[in-house]
Amino acid sequence: MTSTLAQDGIRLVSAYSERAGIELATTSFPDVILLDICSSGSDGFDTLRILRENEKTKSIPLIGLSGSSSNPDRVRAFGVGAMDFIAKPFDINELMARIHNAINVAKMMQLLEHKAQLDGLTGLWNRAYFDTRFANELNRAQSNNMNVGLALCDLDHFKKLNDSFGHPFGDLVLQAFARVIRRELDEEDIACRYGGEEFAFIFPEKELKAVTDACERMRTVVASRVWRAHPDLRVTASFGVTTYGLGSNSTPASWLAAADQALYRAKSSGRDRVQVFEGN
């Protein structure tokens, strides 16, 4: 199988026990897992269940191989989480076709998942993505004693802008601000539309000054923008920045509360500014 699949551009790595197979799958991140359901010395259905429950392997398409072609085995394999099932002895060309099909389906699912995490208007990450990503980045920073920054942003008086110039123009402002964000942030920074005219930014491995500098760049650029349809209009943004949680707590909610408190101070102090959280 290894030599035959290699001719079709598929590299096969093998393990011959449940433990070795699970370890291989969780460390090599294959495009597809081929699992012999009835391999000697283990119950392949148990192995399949473990792979489907593991965060590292649950999304990898899995094809079950079995010497049994009975319908109950097929049903059980699909019920536990196999994407496909093929009985032995099998035609190698059929197996290659099924492998390529599994890869294509997985790519389509990844594309759909990616699109589901994007905001349709601005093309930035959405709130659901932010919630997951910030929790992960905060955990990574705390586990490895690294810096991380968080900023919340509001476009000032945005409701008044919508009421005065209409929602289509408001959408254009949001899209223009998203372009500013992409230009001014570094590649590793994470920008999300938090909701409405609100935005959230994650700054992995950055100290406070680098975070505030990035926010100042965005604030300055959007404030100096001349809007062709309304040349007298000046759109501004307020930012709340933190590098630790409210009450020095380490939960995502406490960090959001700290950034929100700083944002409130920025808005109550006149807007169009970057305010750093200064503690309780």
Q: Which residues are catalytic?
A: 197
Report how far residue 207's alpha carbon sits from residue 211's, in angstroms, rounded to the nearest whole number.
6
Cis amide prior to 89 (ω within 30 degrees): yes
Q: Residue 233's CB: how many other CB atoms inside 10 A?
A: 14
Measure the CA–CA gap between 251 and 247, rounded to whole angstroms.
10
Residues paired with residue 204 on neighbouring β-strands, in sequence order: 148
- The per-residue DSSP string of 9-55 comes to T------SSHHHHHHHHHHH--S-EEEETT-TTS-HHHHHHHHHHST
Q: Residue 223 has which token pair?
A: 């404030």
